[in-house]
Structure 1
């Protein structure tokens, strides 16, 4: 069993080497959001007012989709309190940034800040963790899903990235609804309704065809970009009994210009060490993590991480392995035998077949 440490253990050893300004809000990040908003609004207005060829509308859809994703990354940063500190302003700006992805600030802080960050990769408590073989045994639906051949499931899984963030947000609303106090439920409800009201209102104004280019296609593109990161954040890592960011998180490598556009969202281990720190300083944090525990820090090019996700299953076996129950193929996780340059596997018995017989 590897020795795990909490994120506080690492933070306490790295924080003394960081400049004081690293622990202060960075309001200048809002200029990036303003640029995204100007491009987004201009592109939607152009699609709405002019009868352009579908190819030009398609190109504008791509631009809008990139803006949707960029604003989502900024909203994530704002709602961690790293841009502005006043609660009402944080929620207002965060809500505006997340409006394209149709997620409310109160729900996001409950789901992401207060639950995912506190219980990262915990088998039962992390709402973003993938299921275990135990859950497969308890769920008829999951057993049906895992009868589908792996190549088909892998292809469908990657195609579903185009809608997964929005769908998961709705699932989280239903999941956490009972946890909100009655006084907060009204705000959570309206924060969910308002973004959809804006986009449905746009539909009524400009018609279905233009709306597909102005919102639907950009939403799919924005989801894909955001989920491209989120899917690599933890899904190659093991489930862990201690919230150890070096064990349960992965930093991916992207070109520098992409990091600028996406507010350093690629630095995910760093984010889990210092969630209340502006991502502006995460490259500096990375340097000190590598000095402190170079043997435990995981990073890889994003393309390699996505290929590894494509080739490995998303079902945990004994917390440190990923299993394809149909064929009984077992792969390691990061730190437990996973080699992304040679994705070999062990073979176990047909687990799903055994479970069906037991049922």
Structure 2
């Protein structure tokens, strides 16, 4: 199988420099509609909890009527992350205090302090995408078999994952992701922390902000639980179920963003990121988050213009335009490949007994996920 050599990689800045003049000025203007979208979805969650406060008065045969609302609330959890993600990449909110409040509200259901998100996502992930220094990458085979590595091995999509483990992981992986990064910086704050894929440091000021924001988020969640009177039925249907649905939707995108890609020492989004094709309804609901490679080229652009960026990429870089995969094909590839890096272009299992070349070629549209098993070698 052909693989992309480092000499063939192009830095993100080169794509941006070439394509920016071809985009309309409006694409780079602050999109304050994301604030409205964020607030609407906060309101939907509040409405769901308000209705849930009466669930103990419902007879059992009426309870299934709450499930569509729980699904809607789960989607709101997804949208809160994606709208906050867009807002924190842009200049839509210029006042620092207001920006912090809005981002705190938007990320609270994700248990993610906005200062930590700004660091782990904007600063670390976007600067070191799918390199050894990226905190969002797969673990390396050579890294110690810590609890963080074990959890990802047991619950992330791979050729070895158990279906039950995968189901549990879909609903909880985001929480584990937040927990391991949060504890890494608050408890240790050094590059020697080995239970995260790639540790990073924060300044004392950032560390204090992360801690204060976390306690604010904790207080908000406790307030929700108190409002629901710690009632098991209310909590199950209006708190844990929507959060589980939301986390599963988010982590589906996260898994397909980069986990199939090779490691890269040069930040080339067309080599280390994947965009997936989803039904238009999901692009509408989820702010075009499926256009993930386009986002990595222009992190601060209005997400409404991602489809135009994709068209430009496919026009001007036709030999690399295969970074776009149907969502089903990307998911099948995840389930047919191991999840640890043996080297830059090889995936391997926890034991290291089975290895497989990275299945993504320069033109990923040629990939047929069916015969992946034939590529395995022991």
TM-score above 0.5, yes or no: yes
1:288-344 Cα offsets, whole Å, 9 max, x none, are: 111111221311121221122112111112211222346524143312796424323
What 5-or-longer segments of structure 1 have no aligned partner? 350-359
Change over 3 Å in CA distance of 1:145–1:133 after alignment to 2 = same
- Establish whether residue 346 from structure 1 lines up as the match of residue 375 from structure 2: yes
Do residues 332 (structure 1) and 358 (structure 2) align?
A: yes
Listed as ranges, the matches of 1:1-80 within 5 Å are 1=5, 2-50=7-55, 51-52=57-58, 53-80=62-89
Asked if 1 retains the 8 angstrom alpha-carbon contact of 2:111 and 2:217, the reply is yes
Per-residue CA deviations over 1:205-256 (Å, capped at 9, x if unaligned) read 3223212222111111110000010000001110011010000000001111
- In 2 relative to 1, CA 208–134 (structure 1 residues): closer, same or farther, beyond 3 Å? same
The residue that corresponds to 2:95 in the other structure is 86
CA change 1:155–1:244 in 2 (3 A) is farther
Following superposition, the deviation at residue 143 of structure 1 comes to 8.3
Q: Is the 8 A contact 2:185 2:207 kept in 1?
A: no
Residues in 2 aligned to 1:44 and 1:245: alpha-carbon distance in whole angstroms: 40
Which has the higher mean CA deviation after the structures are superposed, 315-324 or 252-261?
315-324
Q: What SS is found at the alignment partner of 2:212?
A: helix
Provide the rounded CA distance (Å) in 2 between the counterparts of 1:217 and 1:86. Answer: 35
Tell whether the 8 Å contact from 1:154 to 1:310 is kept in structure 2 after alignment.
no
Question: Which of 145, 149, 158 lines up with 1:139 in the alignment?
Answer: 145
Counterpart in the other structure of 1:310: 335
Correspondence for 2:255: 231
Q: Tell me how far apart the structure 2 counterparts of residues 281 and 176 of structure 1 sit (CA, whole Å).
A: 35
Task: Give the deviation of 1:95 after TM superposition.
Answer: 1.4
TM-score (norm 2): 0.84
Match of 1:183 among 205, 211, 216: 205
Q: Quick one: distance in 2 between partners of 1:304 and 1:119? A: 26
Count of residues paired in the alignment: 346
Q: Which runs of 5+ in 2 are unaligned?
A: 190-200
Name the residue aligned to 2:299.
275
**Is the CA contact (8 Å cut-off) linking 2:346 and 2:355 kept in structure 1?**
no
User: TM-score normalized by structure 1?
Assistant: 0.88
CA 1:139/1:211 → structure 2, altered by over 3 Å: closer, same or farther? Answer: closer
- 1:140-162 residue CA offsets vs partner (Å, 9 max, x unmatched): 76689979995444652453021
